[in-house]
Structure 1
Amino acid sequence: MRVSFFTILVFLLSIFSSSQTQDLENLADGEMVYADILYDSDHNLYGYIYFFDQGKIDAENKQFEYILLDRNLNKVANGTYQEKNYDGISSDFFDCTFMGEHIIFSKYYIRKYEVLLTFNRIISLKDKSVSKEFIFENNEFRDLNITANQLKDYKNAESINITYAFNHKDLNGFFVSENNKKRKHFYQDKDLKIYDSDKNLKWAYVYNENGSKKDWNAFRVLNMNEGLILGGLSHFANETWIDSFKIVGLEMETGQKRFKYELENKNAAYSHSVNIRYFGDKIYIVGNYSPYSKDDFNWMKNLGIYQVVLDQNGNEITRKYHPWSEIAKNMEANKYGVVEKGYYLSPKKFFIMKDGSFVYLAEKFKGVNSNYTSTKTLDFVLFNFDNEGNFKENHTIEKDKTKWAQNDYLFHQYIKDNSGVVFFFRDHKKDGETKDKNWVLGINTVINTEFKQELVPMSSDDFFIQPIPAKEGYILLREFNKKSEFDQLRLERLNY
């Protein structure tokens, strides 16, 4: 059955309330080329930023305009800036970070699918100005002054410096890491550097001082909270095989190592996927596990769900494993989480709450590779665990079959001071009479381990509707139709 936009609007008013709108079509001239969601130092949603390409202003330069909206869709700032235009080379955004009095955005230059270099610019919210481009090179930040020919020479570089801005209540600045893009010397990446917001080196964590092809380490940041950076340290015996995996705790202020906890090694029974959060004096690690393999966790041999709890010094408090025979008994899952008609309980998301309770969201999947392309996906299944790590219950969240994609899950947000989570998904439900598919928004909450669900019809003949994260208790809906030049943001209150 076809549903008019007026019908949708009437229904939405019964589900949502307190609508606020902003017309994107008239915010700025030019083509919108990038949008991002900005968060403050407590990871509360601050607002939204949009960048518009306004085209060439002369033979060498292009002009862009940025628009900053707060969480209530009020325009806070806007400004224009110029960027060099190089023939045969394009630039794309990859990150944007709110830093209080300024915003840092990051871009890269790319030529024939190869990233040449990354650079950053700073928007001042005091005077609305945009800084010159700057890069990190030869162990220092410097302005980017480069010709087209010099830029093309970067294609021969063995490595590239990746710079990310971050904003945490205990620390803000830049992460700097080196990526060996040609993989000839993959084992030589040495350290993680932290620079403050004034671009001064604060500290460096050396994780791979004397790496060789048969003995080297890789490190990635997993979580930051309450003065502690938690990272994953993988040790390799060659280019691909992981011999051990450790959780490393670094003091946020100094970079000093507080602890190193070994989750698995080559003599372990299992390989693990890792999701981690830190609250108070406890570190919670949850994930799936499979029989140990040097190739790491294997989702097709997924044995179930585990939880490890550490104290703030990395000492193990508990370690629990929950096989499918325990938590999916009512679904008649086999030992690898395969249920009816050959569908796997494929990993989707873990949500960890402040009290240590957690939720695992799986999606029924049948196909070649659950991470990239898929043949069929069906229902979600939610597994609920209490704050002692004990299995509580599972819920099947029904949705229609999706073929050749695994994109029904949209996004999630922690709510109620991290005592709950809300997550959203889309479903294209087939009408029993007309066989038309109408898309439905699933709004699901788990608060104090209690699960609730609401389904909202969203189909429209007139507009494409895109859900976007919003401040707590709200959802942002972008409604647009390029043919009619309609592009509007609607902030809607949720009733949970």
Structure 2
Amino acid sequence: MRSLSIIASFLFFINYLTAQIQDLENIAEGDIVYSSILSNSNGDLYGYIYFFDQGKIDTENTQFEYVLLDKNLNKAANGTYTEKHYDGIKNLFFDCTYMGDGILVSKFLKRKTETLLTYNRIISLKDKSVSKEFMYENDSFKELSIKNVDELKENYKGAESFSLAYAINYQNLNGFFVTENNKKGKNYLEKDLKVYGADQNLKWTYSYNVDGVKKDWKSFNVININEGLIIGGLSYFSNSKYIDKFNLVGIDVTNGTQIFEYPFEDKNSAYSHTVNLRYFGDKIYIVGNYSPYSKEDFNWQKNLGVYTITLDKTGKEISKKYYPWSEIASNLEANKYGVVEKGYYLSPMKIYILKDGSFSYLAEKFKGVNSNYTSTKSLDFVLFNFDKDGKFKANYTIQKDKSKWFKNDYLFHQYIKDDQGVVFFFRDHKKDDETRDKNWILGINTIINGEFKEETIPMSSEDFFIRPIPAKEGYIMLQEFNEKSNLNQIRLEKLNY
């Protein structure tokens, strides 16, 4: 229910961009302890932020510097701030979100395996200042004011739950989702989802489990936000382990009113499903895989194929179709559960849903661990394309060498061309026919207006490691680093699509 023999080949596929380079080794003092990619309210890449630990300035405080780069890798802002150090407590970043006039930085304090509390800061993009720490507790935001580790443990160690305020950056709504997280597994005590504005004032509450008890309760998670609608999953439980029923709900983003509840799956269903969805205009597109129904959820080893459901914005079902492997993978000689040559499964990897309703399913040929002596193995990707009417068009095998011990070779993807296309990237370690050495290859694949294209670029270097990172549309960012030579550089490269 529910990630250089570069020159000659590089120039053929990619146009080199000379100006957009940054040296992370010299951009600030200290060690990089966290970085994040920032997006604007339309989901487009805004820039990158890096945090540097500059060490203790006294027995109680540590100094940090943030550096903000825009999408062209120009330095847009930087500043320093201090944080209190608590002996025996980990102070860890977990999110960074661009929110219009500022950037919300979220962290949590952790003792051993227990999360004690979460807190936030806001970096102002107007004056580059960093706010004091604040947290959500007892139905309101307040300044974090803990004097020492003893006070921290006394007030928060062993607490039943902690509040989590995480950022929203959607069109005209900038603020916080607030949820209560029970640390002792008593999820039936969680009651609602609250939405606060950037001014930290409550806008609305969606109450989904007001009368929840141990043997009859609900949980809710946000899946997608677009076009003024929050779409989430509402799960019904009669115990703490298995879901009895799973529905999709639509909530008005302005006031929290539930607009619809679409029955998706229950104990009488024929199948268990995975859920991927996007919402454009007046249509909600849902795509995933399905297996025979099990209370333990979707089973990838019994994956029967691909399905799609289309709803209107009121939750009314427009269409629903299942595609068994016999219809879409007959040329691969796939069996009922998507097993192809040499026992490799067509393991789920990614689903891409485009603005016109067309979609693609990416699988990877994969073998899991059967014993302590058998490694995982993955082979080629297989891409299945469907048109806007849900008609299967074709499948394409994207060849790559066998990988061992990796779950997969997939890197990341980005929607492009106003959601009419997608580009996705993968790594491959190809063995040279003559030397038998393995060379690092970057695979670049695009689906634009139904057309599939693939390119590969040699990325091997004896001098430094290369890491691809998402960038603004039409580009990819490459990070090159070598600890021995203190090289840590990022640069943008223009893609050929």
Which residue does the alignment assign to 1:164? 166
Q: Distance in 2 between matches of 1:167 and 1:324?
A: 39
Which residue does the alignment assign to 1:339? 340
Q: Distance in 1 between matches of 2:430 and 2:96?
A: 36
- Do 1:175 and 1:194's aligned partners in 2 also have CA atoms closer than 8 Å? yes
Q: Distance in 1 between matches of 2:325 and 2:157?
A: 49
Deviation at 1:11, TM superposition (A): 3.1
Q: Distance in 2 between matches of 1:13 and 1:448?
A: 26
Determine helix, strand or coil for the equivalent of 2:200: coil
Q: Deviations over 1:371-393 (max 9, x none)?
A: xx961111111010100111111
Deviation at 1:428, TM superposition (A): 0.5
Determine helix, strand or coil for the equivalent of 1:294: coil
- Do 2:6 and 2:457's aligned partners in 1 also have CA atoms closer than 8 Å? no
Which residue does the alignment assign to 1:9? 7
Q: Deviations over 1:244-272 (max 9, x none)?
A: 11110000000001100011111111111
Equivalent residue letter for 1:474 = Y
Q: Distance in 1 between matches of 2:317 and 2:111?
A: 48
Determine helix, strand or coil for the equivalent of 1:406: coil
Q: Does 1:66 align with 2:63?
A: no
Q: Which of 157, 160, 165 is 1:155 aligned to? A: 157
- Do 2:13 and 2:455's aligned partners in 1 also have CA atoms closer than 8 Å? no
Q: Distance in 2 between matches of 1:486 and 1:353?
A: 39
Q: Distance in 2 between matches of 1:8 and 1:423?
A: 20
Equivalent residue letter for 1:412 = H
- Do 2:100 and 2:174's aligned partners in 1 also have CA atoms closer than 8 Å? no
Which residue does the alignment assign to 1:113? 113
Deviation at 1:14, TM superposition (A): 3.0
Q: Distance in 1 between matches of 2:183 and 2:387?
A: 43
Deviation at 1:150, TM superposition (A): 2.0
- Do 1:170 and 1:227's aligned partners in 2 also have CA atoms closer than 8 Å? no
Equivalent residue letter for 1:422 = V
Identity of aligned residues (%): 67
- Do 1:170 and 1:226's aligned partners in 2 also have CA atoms closer than 8 Å? no
Equivalent residue letter for 1:155 = K
Which residue does the alignment assign to 1:300? 301
Which residue does the alignment assign to 2:183? 181
Which residue does the alignment assign to 2:410? 409
Task: Report how many aligned residue pairs link the two structures.
Answer: 487
Q: Deviations over 1:307-327 (max 9, x none)?
A: 000011000000000001101
Q: Distance in 2 between matches of 1:492 and 1:152?
A: 48
Q: Unmatched 5+ residue regions in structure 2?
A: none
Which residue does the alignment assign to 1:481? 482
Q: Deviations over 1:343-370 (max 9, x none)?
A: 111111110000000010111110139x
Equivalent residue letter for 1:388 = D
Q: How does 1:290-369 map to 2 (within 5 A)?
A: 290-368=291-369
Q: Distance in 1 between matches of 2:238 and 2:354?
A: 36
Q: Distance in 2 between matches of 1:69 and 1:10?
A: 30
Determine helix, strand or coil for the equivalent of 2:97: strand
Q: Does 1:49 align with 2:53?
A: no
Deviation at 1:426, TM superposition (A): 0.2
TM-score, structure 1 normalization: 0.97
Which residue does the alignment assign to 2:76? 76
RMSD: 1.2
TM-score, structure 2 normalization: 0.96
Q: Distance in 1 between matches of 2:391 and 2:59?
A: 65
Q: Unmatched 5+ residue regions in structure 1?
A: none
- Do 1:170 and 1:252's aligned partners in 2 also have CA atoms closer than 8 Å? no
- Do 1:285 and 1:307's aligned partners in 2 also have CA atoms closer than 8 Å? yes
Deviation at 1:412, TM superposition (A): 0.3
- Do 1:365 and 1:374's aligned partners in 2 also have CA atoms closer than 8 Å? no
Q: How does 1:128-139 map to 2 (within 5 A)?
A: 128-139=128-139
Determine helix, strand or coil for the equivalent of 1:156: coil
- Do 1:93 and 1:108's aligned partners in 2 also have CA atoms closer than 8 Å? yes
Structure 1 range deviating more: 413-422 or 427-436: 427-436
Deviation at 1:196, TM superposition (A): 0.4
Which residue does the alignment assign to 1:235? 236
Equivalent residue letter for 2:486 = E
